[in-house]
Amino acid sequence: MPELFLGDLTQVKLFDILKPLFSGKKTGKIMVKGKESGELYLELGNITHAKANNAVGEYAFFSLMGLKVGKASFEPDEVPSERTISISTEQLLLNWSYRKQEWDKIKEAIPSPSTSFRLSLQKSPENKNINADQWNVLALCNGTKSVAEIGGTLNWDEFKTSKAILQLVQLGLLVKAEGPRPPEKKLAGETFFVRLENELKKAVGPVASVIIDDKLNELGMTAASLPQDQAQPLVEALSEEIPRDAQKKEFIRVMMEFLSSGKL
């Protein structure tokens, strides 16, 4: 069968492109072509193989899901010559969700790859155990090199570089070379997100957490940074992901009652 165009990643997220292929239990190859390229294989709606750059399997899937530029197409009924993903697609999506959450935490401390870090002044030096990768990063953090430049020097991607820097910040060995962070806003809080995920699961199942993360990303926020005044817009945006009108109305009703109760 001919190749089918699925969408442009500058306009639609890969996760949104994949959702109908999952629910339709499709078999075939999804190809992403652009500055970075890769392939995903589905068998009856389950992801069984992924390839991106020099990576295969779960890490390749993570890389593809992070792409924001490229064109996605689909070749129906294509099957992979190898299967590098053995876990269920549900678990794979949850792993991706956890990685996104970890990335969101990193972004709280390192909002941009142009951020620079320097050695902190140790008033009370203590022995700290750090690994070889962390030593490499520490040697390059001179207050002028950016996260992107350090990653380029080490041939690492932004996630790996930022994670190592965050670990060194948490150890007290690095501090941001820029000014202080702005004051904290009044946030929605953990109670809100627990209730939100539980109610959304009733309507869409186990992918609720992934959909919540996706909508937060669209709003340019994270679960840790969502202000209370953005809780209602998030609920309304999530309701659009619920296909059945009755479930949609019930989700909105329950969450609006929760928001009005002041228990955020």
Whether the predicted pLDDT of 121 surpasses 70: yes
| 165 domain-assigned | yes
Q: Which domain holds residue 197?
A: 190-260
- Asked whether residue 201 falls in the same domain as residue 242, the answer is yes
Query: What does the mean pLDDT of the chain come to?
Result: 89
Whether the predicted pLDDT of 123 surpasses 70: no
| 181 domain-assigned | no
Tally of domains within the chain: 3
| 225 domain-assigned | yes
Whether the predicted pLDDT of 1 surpasses 80: no
Least confident residue range of 81-95, 213-227, 239-253: 213-227
What is the domain-level CATH number for residue 138? 1.10.10
Predicted pLDDT of residue 32: 95
Least confident residue range of 18-32, 61-75, 166-180, 207-221: 166-180
- Confirm whether pTM is higher than 0.85: no
Q: In this structure, how many other beta carbons lie within 10 angstroms of the beta carbon of residue 224?
A: 16
| 30 domain-assigned | yes
Distance CA 119, CA 214 (A): 35
- Asked whether residue 9 falls in the same domain as residue 78, the answer is yes
Mean pLDDT, residues 250-254:
94
* Overall size of the chain counted in residues: 264
